Amino acid sequence: MISQILAIIPARGGSKGIPRKNVQPLAGRPLLAYTVEAALAASAVKRVVVSTDDDEIAALSQSLGAEVIRRPQEISGDTASSESALLHALDYLHCKEGYEPNVVVFLQTTSPLRGAGDIDGAVRHLLETGADSLFSACGFHGFVWRRIAGAVQSVSYDYTNRQRRQDIGEDLLENGSIYVFKPWILRETGNRLGGKIAVYEMDPLHSFQVDEPGDLELMGHILELEAPSSKIPDLRAIELVVLDFDGVMTDDRVVVNQDGTEAVLCHRGDGFGIERLRQAGIDVVVLSKETNPVVAARCAKLGIVCHQGFDEKLPKLQSLAAERGLQPEHVLFVGNDVNDLECVRWVGFGIAVADAKAELRRSAAWVTSKAGGTGAVREVCDLIIAAREAPNV
pLDDT bracket for residue 229 (50, 70, 90): very low
Q: Which of 273, 253, 271, 275 is nearest to 262 (CA)?
A: 253
Contact 316, 273 (CB under 8 A): no
Separation of CA 224 from chain center? 18
d(CA 337, CA 358): 9
CATH topology of domain 2-140+169-226: Spore Coat Polysaccharide Biosynthesis Protein SpsA; Chain A (3.90.550)
What residue type is 285 in one-letter code? V
Supply the DSSP symbol for 313.
H
Tell me: the pLDDT tens digits for 161-206?
Answer: 888 877 787 788 999 999 999 999 999 999 999 999 999 998 887 8
Contact 211, 136 (CB under 8 A): no
Rounded to an integer, the average pLDDT of 331-341 is 92
d(CA 221, CA 308): 39
Q: Which of 179, 184, 197 is nearest to 130 (CA)?
A: 197
Rounded to an integer, the average pLDDT of 38-48 is 89
First to last CA, the chain: 49
Residue 75 has pLDDT above 50, yes or no: yes
d(CA 129, CA 135): 13
Alpha carbon dihedral 37, 182, 78, 67, in 10-degree steps, equals 40
Contact 159, 182 (CB under 8 A): no
Beta bridge partners of 50: 9, 68
Indicate the average pLDDT of the chain. Answer: 89
Domain ranges within the chain, ordered by starting residue: 2-140+169-226, 235-389
CATH topology of 2-140+169-226 equal to that of 235-389? Answer: no
d(CA 356, CA 380): 15
Contact 31, 22 (CB under 8 A): yes
Measured in degrees and rounded to the nearest 5, phi and psi for residue 80 equal -70, 140
CATH says 235-389 is which class? Answer: alpha beta
CB within 8 A of 186, min separation 6: which ones?
83, 86, 87, 90, 104, 192
SS3 content of the chain, % helix, strand, coil (to 5): 40, 20, 40
Tell me: the pLDDT tens digits for 57-70?
Answer: 999 999 999 999 99
Residue 230 has pLDDT above 50, yes or no: no
Look at 113-122, 222-231, 312-321 and tell me which has the smallest mean pLDDT. Answer: 222-231
Query: Which is more confident, 393 or 334?
Result: 334
